[in-house]
Chain A
């Protein structure tokens, strides 16, 4: 059953065998998919970038070789060629950009770029006033600001290089147009083109700028933090922090993985629970939610709207309120234990949230309780969408309700909701709310490093590393690893899901 088989052989298999064959092949294919991702997709991406840069080089080379004096002066003075060719708007914009850049580097960016290699040298000073005995303080370098402005400056330099290239390209094209005896576009025409053939630039300009400033640069900043020793002992503005290379990564990967209380061991254990949790949380909600929806949808069930309303009512209560309430009720002195004890069913409180294994079970159960209404709502719509004639013909052919479920309902649902399942899975990998509000990662244990508890997910551990332990560098490493895991898992599973492969099915 683990070998690739021909289509004919496949058709000979029984239903269950077909399913398990597909199941096995999916997981057998995963390593190859991972391999492809790293050996094909990623190199391909870099190759594309390289091609773009090569294209730039060719343009610049051509301009240097065949350009007239106006074009060549543009190599140094931005917009000179455009101004000389009376393209006033373009010329001025390029020139102003260059002047701004020079001004910025001279007044501001240069000093930060100079300190970028060391992230600051001058420590904050302390001087006693000989007369009053009061201590006064002199400001030192702020490593955090140096890192931040250093990155911004580098980003600005990249923009500058790009503008330089565009400036040369634009003047070279202008020169070619002139040589061909055609007329150049005026400022008015340039502006008008932004609403016509260049309209995509107008539309995408603002979102792109927003994305760069609010998402990409913070991510780059965060990645850089992983290579510093920014922690409680090196807290700016009073203390300096500096580059430490791959040391943080070595603590996670190089450490003793089998032993106790090392970051490597903790990371492995927390990751294991994170994946387990995501799996159970996603599929328990999905399947049970679907079952509830099917039950309510069934012909002959009365008060359909009432049942749906009752279930949806739980959504009306904010999730964090339900979670906090649950955490109270499940506590050692909580309502559940109190009731069970007063009934005489138990002698001592059940450690719902304080015993490692029981806490994990409780979390998944509470999550089911919170999550089912959402899945039910979503699947109700899709279930109603399945053509009734499919079921009818199945019935005529003698299929029972169970067979109809596995042959019609489930494949249809899986096909339609695969992307939803993947988002759910990824969302659950990073499900901060449920864990943090229910157990806060408890029970803590001496087996783990970095204040991690038995029910901590990577994301809640990350929160602890930042808020309690102030290990910013280490936290950054963990978040990079989380990003890699979630990105790779979602890309690969999504690309292999049937909704992407057989997009036209069930249309």
Chain B
């Protein structure tokens, strides 16, 4: 077989990661938006509450329309813009956990919004960036729980619940990025004409 060089450069591969991965992040954000709008409509007890909270989600929806539109038109945003938008997602979810009327911090049940966002981010970016983002999400949630005074820090059942949730957030990031790296390895070998189960996969396992 002739000696064939890799047809994609590392920079091209990174661009493609963002290109293909961006749609996953966009869909994860859609899920958060849909959940947020449904919750606002469902749980609002007064007109003022509804008119104060809904515009926030409408703005987020408009932003995601823009991002999704750019993607569909074949000109998705660059890595920095995607990262910034993902950090804004974390800010929004943390704000929901802290400020949602009726239940704050650990008692707020909308921490599950972190899961798809962290998972989608981990499917797109390299390990170092993913670790930073996942740790940021964990710190944000921990701070939201501690600052609202809903976690007593006495190693009791509330702390146990907090640790459980943090572990699952970390697991979302780890598993997503683990799969991302497996796919990079497979793509690299596919570019070199290898299509079979690789020993490198066994060693990864």
Mutual binders A and B: no
**Which of B's residues lie within 8 Å of A, judged by CB?**
none
Residues of A within 8 A of B (CB): none
